[in-house]
C-alpha cells in the first residue's frame, strides 16, 4: 500500500454506527476533506498505517481507560473532535483532558460540525506555531510588557500568535503576575484594537446586578431600573470583553455566559429580544478552573469553552531575570521633584533578586514605590530602602494566630484576614498591600467573609 502524499486536508471518522459514520464522512467531504471512515479502534490503527489525517472525528463512550489512552495516542497525530451522547458532558470533558480538541453532542448539526472542525484546526495550527516560535528570536511587538526572561518572551510570542485569531483565551496565573496586562496586549494586537476593551469583574454577590452589568437591562426589569441600560457587551461592541476572576462567577450566570460564548446570543435582563454580540472574550483567573470543575463549583462545559486556548503567566519567582528590568521600569516611570534619575545600588538589586515575590509584579511595584519615598533626595536607592516582609517581621508587627485545633488552609486565610482588617482598621488598601494582592481581590475576600457572616458590618465593602 502507498502512503498518502496529497497536501489536501485529510479526515478520519471513527464511528461504529454505520449510518452515522456515512453521514459524517459525507459531511466532511463536503467541507473539502479527503475522508475515510472506519468502525473500530483496530481498523482505525490499521488505516493510520497508510493514511495521514489532519483531523480525526471519534465517537467515544468513556469512561474506559483504554479509550482515554486511545485519545492520548491519537492526539499526538492530529487534533481530535469527539462525539458523545446527549447528557454526557462529563465524558466529553474527560476526553478533552485526555487530549481531544473539541467535543460535539449527538446528534450534531452540520453547522456545529463545521464550527468544531474549524476551531480544532485553527487551535492546532496556533499551538504548532507557538512551539515553533519558542525557538525563534525576533523583535517583539507587545507594548508595555517589560521582561527579558525566556519564559516572558515565550509568553509575548504566544500573545502575538493568538491575538489576531479571535478565539476565546483563558489567562491563568497567580495574583499580581500581570494577567490584565496580558489581556490588554491581546486586545491591542488584535484587529479589534480600535474598539473598546472592557473589563468586567465576575465576582459579585448580586445575580441581577452582574447580569444587568454584562447584558444590560430593560426598563422596569427590577426595582429601580427606571430606564433601559446597555450592558458591557454592547459597550464593547466590536472590541474585547475581559472577564476578570471568572472562577467567581455565580452558577446561574455560568449558563448564560456559556450561551453567549457559544452562540454570541444574549438577552437584556427583563427583555424578550435576543441580541447578537460582536465581541471577543478573554477571561482570567488566579485559581485553577480545572480544580473548581473537579469540586463541582464550575460548569465543565463552560470550562471547556473557555480553555480552548490557555495562557499561563508564570510567577515572578520563576523568571527572576525579569525582576531587575521591571524594577527599573517602575523607577523610570516615577516622576521626581527635581527631575533627576534614580538608580538602585548593587545590594538593593540583590535584595530584590533574592526575594520570593508572593504578590508578584504588583508587590514589586509597591516595594519600588516605597523605596523611592524612603530614599528621599538620594540618587541611589540603598538596600535599607527596600522593605520586604521578612524585614518587617523583625521590626514591625508580629502575627500570631491561635487555634484550638489544627486549622484548615481556609480557616487560616479567614483568620489572618480578620486579624489584618482589625490591625489596619478595615483599610482595604493597606490590607491589600500586606497580602500582596490587588484591592479588587481583597474586596472579594472581604465580601466572602461577609457572606459567611464572619466579619461585622464595619469591614464590609
Ligand atoms: N511585565 C510587566 N511589565 C510592566 N508592568 C507589569 C508587568 N506585569 C505586570 N505589571 C504591572 O503590575 C501590576 C499588576 O498587574 P495586573 O493587574 O495585570 O495583574 P493581575 O494578574 O491581573 O493581578 P490580580 O490577580 O491581582 O488581578 C499592574 O500595575 C501592571 O501594569
Ligand atoms: Mg487582575
Question: Per the structure, how many domains does the chain have?
Answer: 4
From the CA of 244, how far away is ligand 2's center (Å)?
6
Q: Where among 78, 95, 130 does a domain terminate?
A: 130
Q: Which domain holds residue 364?
A: 316-395
Q: How far is CA 444 from CA 64, 269, 410, 417, 460, in A?
A: 40, 24, 15, 12, 10
Same domain, 113 and 201: no
Residue located nearest, by CA, to atom 13 of ligand 1? 362
Residue located nearest, by CA, to atom 9 of ligand 1? 178
Pocket test for ligand 1, best of 151, 171, 181 (most atoms within 8 A of CB): 181
pLDDT in tens, the chain (461 residues): 334 344 578 999 999 889 999 999 999 999 889 999 999 888 999 999 999 999 999 988 755 667 778 888 888 889 999 988 766 777 777 788 888 888 888 888 888 888 888 888 877 777 666 554 444 434 445 667 999 898 998 898 889 888 888 889 999 999 999 999 999 999 999 999 999 999 998 887 677 788 888 999 998 888 878 888 888 999 999 999 999 999 989 888 899 999 999 889 999 999 999 999 999 999 999 988 988 898 888 999 999 889 888 999 999 999 999 999 999 999 888 765 555 678 999 999 999 999 999 999 999 999 999 999 899 888 899 999 999 986 544 445 667 788 888 888 888 888 888 888 888 877 888 888 888 888 888 888 888 877 776 666 566 66
Residue 442 contacts residue 432 (beta carbons within 8 Å)? yes
Q: Which ligand is nearest to the CA of 436?
A: 1
Is residue 2 included in any domain, yes or no?
no
Ligand 1 lining (C-beta closer than 6 Å): 145-147, 173, 175-181, 286, 326, 329, 361-362, 365, 437-438, 441
Q: Where among 98, 130, 162 does a domain terminate?
A: 130
**In angstroms, rounded to a whole number, what is the distance separating the alpha carbons of residues 425 and 441?**
18
Pocket test for ligand 1, best of 185, 289, 361 (most atoms within 8 A of CB): 361
Is residue 195 included in any domain, yes or no?
yes
Q: Where among 395, 429, 450 does a domain terminate?
A: 395
Is residue 401 included in any domain, yes or no?
no
From the CA of 307, how far away is ligand 1's center (Å)?
21
Same domain, 331 and 267: no
From the CA of 412, how far away is ligand 1's center (Å)?
26
Same domain, 212 and 168: yes
Whole-model pTM? 0.67
CATH number where 339 lies? 1.10.8.60
Same domain, 120 and 171: no
Same domain, 322 and 441: no
Same domain, 163 and 70: no
Same domain, 414 and 391: no
CATH number where 258 lies? 3.40.50.300
From the CA of 362, how far away is ligand 1's center (Å)?
6
**If DSSP codes are grouped into helix, strand and coil, which group holds residue 32?**
coil
**In angstroms, rounded to a whole number, what is the distance separating the alpha carbons of residues 383 and 374?**
11
- Which of ligand 1's atoms lies nearest the C-alpha of 437? 26
Is residue 403 included in any domain, yes or no?
no
From the CA of 176, how far away is ligand 1's center (Å)?
5
Amino acid at each position: 500500500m502507498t502512503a498518502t502524499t496529497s497536501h489536501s486536508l485529510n479526515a478520519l471518522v471513527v464511528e461504529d454506527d454505520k449510518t452515522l459514520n456515512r453521514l459524517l464522512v459525507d459531511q466532511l467531504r463536503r467541507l473539502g476533506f479527503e475522508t475515510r471512515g472506519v468502525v473500530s479502534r483496530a481498523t482505525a490503527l490499521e488505516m493510520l498505517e497508510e493514511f495521514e489525517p489532519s483531523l480525526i472525528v471519534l465517537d467515544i463512550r468513556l469512561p474506559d481507560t483504554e479509550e482515554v489512552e486511545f485519545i492520548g495516542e491519537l492526539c499526538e497525530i492530529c487534533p481530535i473532535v469527539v462525539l458523545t451522547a446527549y447528557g454526557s458532558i462529563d465524558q466529553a470533558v474527560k476526553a478533552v483532558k485526555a487530549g481531544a480538541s473539541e467535543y460535539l453532542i449527538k446528534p450534531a448539526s452540520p453547522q456545529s460540525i463545521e464550527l468544531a472542525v474549524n476551531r480544532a484546526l485553527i487551535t492546532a495550527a496556533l499551538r504548532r506555531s507557538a512551539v515553533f516560535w519558542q525557538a525563534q528570536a525576533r523583535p517583539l511587538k507587545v507594548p508595555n510588557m517589560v521582561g527579558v526572561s525566556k519564559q516572558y518572551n515565550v509568553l509575548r510570542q504566544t500573545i502575538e500568535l493568538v491575538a489576531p485569531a479571535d478565539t476565546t483565551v483563558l489567562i491563568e496565573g497567580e495574583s499580581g503576575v500581570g494577567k490584565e496586562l496580558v489581556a490588554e496586549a491581546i486586545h491591542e494586537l488584535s484587529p479589534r484594537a480600535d474598539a473598546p476593551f472592557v473589563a468586567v469583574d465576575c465576582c459579585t454577590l448580586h445575580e441581577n446586578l452582574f447580569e444587568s452589568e454584562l447584558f444590560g437591562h430593560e426598563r422596569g426589569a427590577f426595582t429601580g431600573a427606571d430606564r433601559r441600560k446597555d450592558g458591557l457587551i454592547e459597550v464593547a461592541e466590536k472590541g474585547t470583553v475581559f472577564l476578570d476572576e471568572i472562577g467567581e462567577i455565580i452558577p446561574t450566570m455560568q449558563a448564560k455566559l456559556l450561551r453567549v460564548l457559544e452562540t454570541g446570543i444574549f438577552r437584556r435582563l427583563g427583555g424578550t429580544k435576543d441580541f447578537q454580540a460582536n465581541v471577543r472574550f478573554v477571561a482570567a483567573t488566579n485559581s485553577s478552573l480545572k480544580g473548581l470543575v473537579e469540586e463541582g463549583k464550575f460548569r465543565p462545559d463552560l470550562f471547556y469553552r473557555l480553555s480552548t486556548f490557555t495562557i499561563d503567566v508564570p510567577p515572578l519567582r520563576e523568571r527572576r531575570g525579569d525582576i531587575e528590568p521591571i524594577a527599573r521600569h517602575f523607577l523610570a516611570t516615577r516622576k521626581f521633584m527635581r527631575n533627576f534619575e534614580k538608580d538602585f545600588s548593587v545590594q538593593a538589586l540583590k535584595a530584590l533578586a533574592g526575594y520570593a515575590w508572593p504578590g508578584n509584579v504588583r508587590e514589586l511595584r509597591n516595594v519600588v514605590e516605597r523605596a523611592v519615598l524612603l530614599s528621599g533626595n538620594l540618587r541611589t536607592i540603598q538596600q535599607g530602602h527596600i522593605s520586604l516582609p521578612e524585614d518587617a517581621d523583625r521590626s514591625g508587627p508580629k502575627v500570631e494566630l491561635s487555634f484550638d485545633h489544627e486549622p484548615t488552609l481556609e480557616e487560616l486565610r479567614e483568620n489572618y484576614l480578620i486579624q489584618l482588617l482589625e490591625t489596619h482598621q478595615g483599610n482595604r488598601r493597606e490590607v491589600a498591600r500586606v497580602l500582596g494582592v490587588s484591592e479588587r481581590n481583597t474586596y472579594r475576600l472581604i465580601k466572602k467573609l461577609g457572606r459567611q457572616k464572619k466579619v461585622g458590618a464595619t469591614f464590609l465593602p
